[in-house]
Amino acid sequence: MPDVEELKKTLEAGYAFQGESIILGGAMFDKKTIPGLQIKIPLNTVNRHGLIAGATGTGKTKTIQRLAEGLSEKGVCVLVMDVKGDLSGIAAPGTDNPKIQSRHEQIGVPWSPGQFPVEMLSISEEKGSRMRATVSEFGPILFSKILELNDNQQGAVNIVFKYCDDKGMALLDIKDFRSALNYVSNEGKEEVKDYGLISPASVGVIMRKLLELESQGADQFFGEKSFEVSDLVRKDENGYGYISVLRLTDMQEKPKLFSTFMLCLLAEIYSKFPELGDKAAPKLVVVIDEAHLIFREATKALMDQLEMVIKLIRSKGVGIFFCTQVPSDIPEIILSQLGAKFQHSMRAFTANDRKDIKLVAQNYPSTKFYDTETLLTELGIGEAIITTLNEKGAPTPLAHTMLCAPRTRMDILSPVELDGIVARSKIAAEYNKVIDRESAHEILKAKLERISDEDQAPAKSKSKKVAVEEKSGIGESITAVTKNPLFKTVARELTRGLMGMLFGSKRR
């Protein structure tokens, strides 16, 4: 059996990096830490993406927290998608206690409370700076993917976008798109006949898809002011990168909206971040907590976008880390692209659990120092088996690691504390202001009203002419009758008879 000295030499050689790195924890062997041997991740390989996996309660969230702190200290910005709502504590300093000090004495790294620049974000009614996007920014192809439309229906969407572009009408929110679709398929048919025809069936399907999207809160996401992804890569006066916590506790039941947001975010980051090359230091790391919830409900459009982004976005200085319970929650095509792996303990309660453990063990570099399959079920809370990529892009040796504790609060913030962070934010006031300027909905509504008025004007004019003619005809008829001698004789006799009755004169 290999001894600890042999393991120490192997790990020292495997984790001896020349450039900047982040200390993850202390190496372990036979359930004890190896004095003075820290496990690290090179900063310039963080944009090669990663995986944080493990059963519930094994410390995944704290690993995310400590990784975000380490990146912030190095000037790298972090966007954490907080699905469970337990990452808000990263905005407050931690509290010292004997267990933390004991852990860090074993690791050989001092611990002290830390404060990092934090921004709270939201795409719903959660507290934070609102992240919005306009329909125009999505474009017809991406917007069609969100709605999961076929080719014919996508053609109708293209016509709507083309018409609005040509007429200078902004598509800001869903009501703009709905009004434009109604117009080009009804009153505006003649205006768009050169673009193509839109079938009533396609319109019906698109309308139903829009309603489905709205029912999950998309009317709050689409609109202005659009969120600028450049605000995700800000630094404070100390050079620390901002940690943006996107609060998504109400998104578990809204997979359609979350897919829409993810598509928009990844597309914006990819299109607006400059090309830096494969070896550039990361600018932004996106951490997706509870990733199994995303992939379980992911649309094909989101899957295609994620696959493309994972392969290409690292050259933009962006890394993506997925956090989930078992690696099999992540599609194979994406899992194969993840360079760093942090595997917490797994549970062997069922036959399927044991199959998962066997499969996970095979996904890690082979080692003669650990029985990986057995170790996966024996890891303590706050421990993980780790492998990353070295500076040349090769996997580092597998290391059983006692992870560093977060320097920030390992608990959630109170509502009052959250309100305070939002109130002090430099961007919240700008993004939380509701803007509803004139766009396609208002322009088309005014146009339809003008058309209606013009249609009614000739009818009113005709009605007036008929009334005049009728009045004129009646007058002429009365004049002709009164000039008739017979009429005069009858009138005179009637008058005389009436006067005789009234005054009692005798009849001749």
Say what the pLDDT of residue 178 is.
94
Q: Domain limits at 323?
A: 4-125+239-249+265-292+300-431
Q: How many CB atoms lie within 10 A of CB 189?
A: 12
The answer as to whether 24 is a domain residue is yes
How many degrees, rounded to 5, is the angle at CA 280 between CA 276 and CA 283? 80
Sheet of strand 129-130, all strands in order from the earlier edge strand to the far edge: 32-42, 21-29, 399-403, 383-387, 340-343, 50-53, 318-324, 284-288, 77-82, 243-247, 118-122, 129-130
The answer as to whether 52 is a domain residue is yes
Structural domains counted in the chain:
1
Measured between alpha carbons, how far is 347 from 398 in angstroms, rounded to an integer?
Answer: 20
**Which amino acid is residue 206, in one-letter code?**
I
Say what the pLDDT of residue 459 is.
56
Q: Which residues of the chain have pLDDT under 50?
A: 468, 474, 477-478, 481-482, 485-508
DSSP conformation letters of 163-194? HHHHTT----SHHHHHHHHHHHTTTTTTTTTT
**Three-state DSSP state, 435:** strand
Distances (CA, A) of 484 to 262, 329, 477, 488, 494: 91, 104, 11, 7, 16
The answer as to whether 182 is a domain residue is no
Say what the pLDDT of residue 160 is.
95
> 239-264 b/e with 16+ CB inside 10 Å = b?
ebbbbbbbbbebbeebbbbbbbbbbb
The answer as to whether 195 is a domain residue is no
Q: What is the pTM of this model?
A: 0.84
The answer as to whether 141 is a domain residue is no
Q: What is the pLDDT of residues 29-43, one digit of tens each?
A: 998 999 999 999 999
Domain of 99: which CATH number? Answer: 3.40.50.300
The answer as to whether 358 is a domain residue is yes
The answer as to whether 212 is a domain residue is no
Say what the pLDDT of residue 467 is.
52
Measured between alpha carbons, how far is 140 from 191 in angstroms, rounded to an integer?
Answer: 19
The answer as to whether 71 is a domain residue is yes
